[in-house]
Structure 1
Amino acid sequence: MDKQNELSYGSDYKYIPATSLASGQGIEVLPDLYTYTVQIVNICFVGDPKSEDFVLIDAGMPETAEEIISVTEQRFGANSKPKAIILTHGHFDHVGAIIELVNHWNVPVYAHELELPFLTGEMSYPEPDPTVEGGAVAKLSSLFPNDPVNLGDYIQPLPSDGSLPHVKGFRWLHTPGHTPGHVSFFRDSDHTLIAGDAFVTVKQESLYKVLTQEQEISGPPRYLTPDWQSAWSSVRKLESLKPAIAVTGHGLPMAGDDLSKNLEKLANQFEEIAIPDHGKYVNRPLH
């Protein structure tokens, strides 16, 4: 069977009319790290823009493939394509354009082995929780796509040795809680962290803060996080690395003292800062 014919989004996949002031803007965080905001979520390019050796981390919102391809070619040149797409996790806002990108570029996709059932059409994530404390975005979360995508033979597990395919210097870290196979990426040489949604730098439940991108370190998005105990452990793991700069799945990059102080506070006061007072996934034993 032709690989392309195997690929499918879930039956509930659709365009989500959400945006922020950062939408359509890119930031060169480092010479070989570029982040770009697709509506309300960030994608990252890792690699020298003068080289063909680069990867894309995460795949944006539904129906944004043309925008992502355009941004790729603006940074790396006409007809350029990444060596691979590497996923922090498989929620709709991180795989929204994945099938169109895979079909256009014909490149492999990598994710943690625990994430694979959500990327091979086998299993849906737990339903979003619109009752969770937090704001208007949380209340709208029941509208978000939740059925699994099927990437067929394109999806592969990340290497078990912690390395990242086609990326020198970075290693992947298992940071579950938001999803079972959520991963973050860290470069020891300069303490650069790509955190996905393990923590974010905007209060993602608040429509006002999502729109304005008001910066504030927060835990993973509340309405889609079912395992708060693991989420707390993951934040502590990342804080212990003492990152110098962090790019997250939502919000603007953060660096220096702002990052270290706020991330330490989040790790120490996770229960007060990150965990909602109520919600269907909240009443579980915590550390």
Structure 2
Amino acid sequence: MNQIPLPRSAEAENHQADKARDDGTREIAPDVAYRQLAIVNVVFYGQANAGDGNWVLIDAGVFGSGPAIRDAARARFGQNGRPACIVLTHGHFDHIGVLETLSDEWDVPVYAHPIEHPYLNGTQSYPPPAPEVGGGLLARLSPLFPTSPVDVGTRLHELPADHTVPFMPDFRWIHTPGHAPGHVSLWRERDRLLIAGDAIVTTAQESVYAAVSQEPEMHGPPMYFTPDWSAARESVRAISALSPETVITGHGAAMHGGEMRAALTQLARDFDTIAVPKGSRYAPSMD
């Protein structure tokens, strides 16, 4: 077993309201929306029409997604669409594709967990992927994906040690390593909303078809880019213990409600069976 199917009724989307807007996003809360850009999601935090400096971009998409992010930001927030900052869940290529371009253009700070900084300041590459896992085309193509670091220079800052999130006053960051050593998820207690990055995903990211069709399934982190499965297991258990009402992941549709939580509970309980790939160089055995 390597997936937990979810019903479409668990999708946390208001298609009528989304269709009425022209920013291309899917709104999950009045101040939280996301947009699918190719195989990955970026998240926008802030009230609509907030204006420059009053919103936050979470993650920075794949290479070439700059125009879509700019267009969505201008349409959603008005003025020039310039945020207060960029917050990263982690630094894999599909989450920092236009990070250098946008942070330079907007001249804004970039916040990430300090353990993730070597991959964002040009000093360290990620370990190679594991194309032998998952059985899908994206997994087989993963050796072609960039693992080298980007460098955002002096704009790079550590997330605060007190777990607050800059310019996102209701959110706290949670260290959820495994997929990346400095991976974080963002949690808001008042409405139990979790921005999970790739600690969990809601589609079979190894498969091109699933990544495009967005069939709702509960999964652990993408198999081909996860080097520490023991840490990933503990991160999923920590996320499940929060009992979120809504989750936005880096890949797949946002999900909510009891059916989502039941699937997350099952994933946490049976993680080694459901999520850990057989034959991976990074999971020869699990303790």
**TM-score scaled by length of structure 2:** 0.90
Measure, in 1, the Cα distance between the counterparts of 2:275 and 2:242: 20
The alpha carbon displacement at 1:285 in A equals 3.5
4+ aligned runs moved over 4 Å, structure 1? none
Cα RMSD (Å): 1.1
Give SS of 1:93's match: helix
Following superposition of structure 1 onto structure 2, how do residues 23-34 of structure 1 map, counting pairs within 5 Å?
Answer: 25-34=24-33
Are positions 1:111 and 2:122 aligned together? no
Counterpart in the other structure of 2:99: 98
Counterpart in the other structure of 2:87: 86
Measure, in 1, the Cα distance between the counterparts of 2:144 and 2:103: 26
- The higher relative CO (CA closer than 8 Å, separation ≥ 6) is in 2
Give SS of 1:139's match: helix
Following superposition of structure 1 onto structure 2, how do residues 77-226 of structure 1 map, counting pairs within 5 Å?
Answer: 77-226=78-227
Q: Indicate conservation of the 8 Å contact 1:134/1:276, yes or no.
A: no
Amino acid corresponding to residue 275 of structure 2 in structure 1: A
Q: Indicate conservation of the 8 Å contact 1:178/1:231, yes or no.
A: yes
Are positions 1:35 and 2:51 aligned together? no
- 1:233-254: CA deviations, max 9, x gaps? 0000000000000000000000
Amino acid corresponding to residue 51 of structure 1 in structure 2: A
Measure, in 2, the Cα distance between the counterparts of 1:79 and 1:31: 20
The alpha carbon displacement at 1:65 in A equals 1.1
Amino acid corresponding to residue 30 of structure 2 in structure 1: P
Measure, in 2, the Cα distance between the counterparts of 1:132 and 1:269: 18
- 1:94-120: CA deviations, max 9, x gaps? 000011101211100000000000001
Give SS of 1:263's match: helix
Q: Indicate conservation of the 8 Å contact 2:272/2:286, yes or no.
A: no
Q: Indicate conservation of the 8 Å contact 2:38/2:212, yes or no.
A: no
Amino acid corresponding to residue 138 of structure 2 in structure 1: V
Q: Indicate conservation of the 8 Å contact 1:133/1:278, yes or no.
A: no
Q: Indicate conservation of the 8 Å contact 2:165/2:172, yes or no.
A: yes
Amino acid corresponding to residue 135 of structure 1 in structure 2: G
The alpha carbon displacement at 1:50 in A equals 2.8
- 1:163-211: CA deviations, max 9, x gaps? 0001111000000000000000000111000000000000101222112
The alpha carbon displacement at 1:278 in A equals 1.2
Give SS of 2:42's match: strand
Aligned in 2, Cα 1:150/1:284: closer, same or farther, shift over 3 Å? Answer: farther
Amino acid corresponding to residue 177 of structure 1 in structure 2: G
The alpha carbon displacement at 1:284 in A equals 4.2
Measure, in 2, the Cα distance between the counterparts of 1:77 and 1:26: 14
Measure, in 1, the Cα distance between the counterparts of 2:28 and 2:194: 11
- 1:132-183: CA deviations, max 9, x gaps? 2331110010111111101110111100000000111100000000000000
The alpha carbon displacement at 1:34 in A equals 0.6
Counterpart in the other structure of 2:10: none
Measure, in 1, the Cα distance between the counterparts of 2:232 and 2:98: 26
Are positions 1:55 and 2:53 aligned together? no
**TM-score scaled by length of structure 1:** 0.90
Amino acid corresponding to residue 30 of structure 1 in structure 2: A
Q: Which runs of 5+ in 1 are unaligned?
A: 1-23
Q: Indicate conservation of the 8 Å contact 2:178/2:235, yes or no.
A: yes
Measure, in 2, the Cα distance between the counterparts of 1:97 and 1:284: 36
Measure, in 2, the Cα distance between the counterparts of 1:226 and 1:25: 33
Give SS of 1:210's match: helix
Counterpart in the other structure of 2:268: 267
The alpha carbon displacement at 1:64 in A equals 1.6
Measure, in 2, the Cα distance between the counterparts of 1:131 and 1:266: 22
Measure, in 1, the Cα distance between the counterparts of 2:177 and 2:266: 20
- 1:65-115: CA deviations, max 9, x gaps? 122111110101131211000000000000000111012111000000000
Q: Indicate conservation of the 8 Å contact 2:24/2:72, yes or no.
A: no
Q: Which runs of 5+ in 2 are unaligned?
A: 1-22
- 1:36-58: CA deviations, max 9, x gaps? 01111000011111323210000
The alpha carbon displacement at 1:258 in A equals 2.1
Counterpart in the other structure of 1:18: none
